[in-house]
């Protein structure tokens, strides 16, 4: 039970990766999409998640002509995950390449170590841990 409480405490705690700041390619045109309709059940959790991200200085309020709609998704534990639909923005932004691990290779490596413990980690907010250049 102690571990469940600890995990709940750490649910919104985000760290910053110790890597070089990323230069974000600038969109070639403005993208503004209307916000999708959401259910009443999602409104309070959306505000709570937004406040948590603001408190941790991950996001900040701004006035901008750009907008990408948020899409709250119900998780299996009945909680909520905040997702953003960046598809329209991705269409007008130069691509960024990233190294993606080979999951099969990782699985083989884990099996060869004869590990006694396996753990899972929810990296839904890992996106926010990448430092961005100020420009």
Query: pLDDT by residue (tens digit) across 85-121?
Result: 989 988 888 776 666 778 888 888 878 887 677 676 6
Is 104 among the domain residues? yes
Total domains in the chain come to: 1
Question: For position 33, what pLDDT does the model report?
Answer: 94
pLDDT at 133 over 80: no
Q: Over the chain, what is the mean pLDDT?
A: 79
- pLDDT, mean of residues 123-127: 67
Is 134 among the domain residues? no
CATH of residue 72: 3.10.10.10
Q: 88: Cβ–Cβ under 8 A, 6 or more apart, which residues? A: 31, 33, 68
In 3D space, the residue among 25, 58, 27, 21 whose CA is nearest the CA of residue 133 turns out to be: 21
Is 107 among the domain residues? yes
pLDDT at 130 over 80: no
Q: 31: Cβ–Cβ under 8 A, 6 or more apart, which residues? A: 66, 67, 68, 88, 89, 91, 92
Helix (H, G, I), strand (E, B) or coil at 82: strand
Contact 23, 135 (CB under 8 A): yes
Is 65 among the domain residues? yes
What is the pTM (predicted TM-score) of this model?
Answer: 0.61
Range of the domain at 86: 2-129
Residues, the chain: 135
Is 135 among the domain residues? no
Is 101 among the domain residues? yes
The tokens describing 76, both together, are: 């299996």
């Amino acid at each position: 039970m102690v571990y469940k409480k600890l995990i709940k405490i750490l649910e919104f705690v985000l760290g910053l990766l110790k890597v070089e700041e990323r230069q974000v390619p600038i969109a070639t045109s403005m993208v503004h999409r209307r916000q999708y309709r959401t259910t009443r059940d999602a409104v309070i959790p959306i505000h709570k998640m937004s406040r948590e991200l603001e408190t941790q200085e991950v996001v900040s309020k701004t006035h901008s002509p750009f907008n990408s709609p948020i899409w709250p998704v119900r998780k299996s534990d009945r909680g909520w995950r905040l997702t953003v639909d960046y598809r329209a923005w991705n269409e007008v932004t130069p691509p960024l390449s990233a190294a993606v691990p080979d999951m099969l290779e990782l699985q083989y490596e884990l099996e060869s170590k004869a590990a006694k413990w396996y753990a899972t980690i929810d990296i839904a907010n890992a996106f926010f841990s990448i430092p961005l250049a100020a420009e």
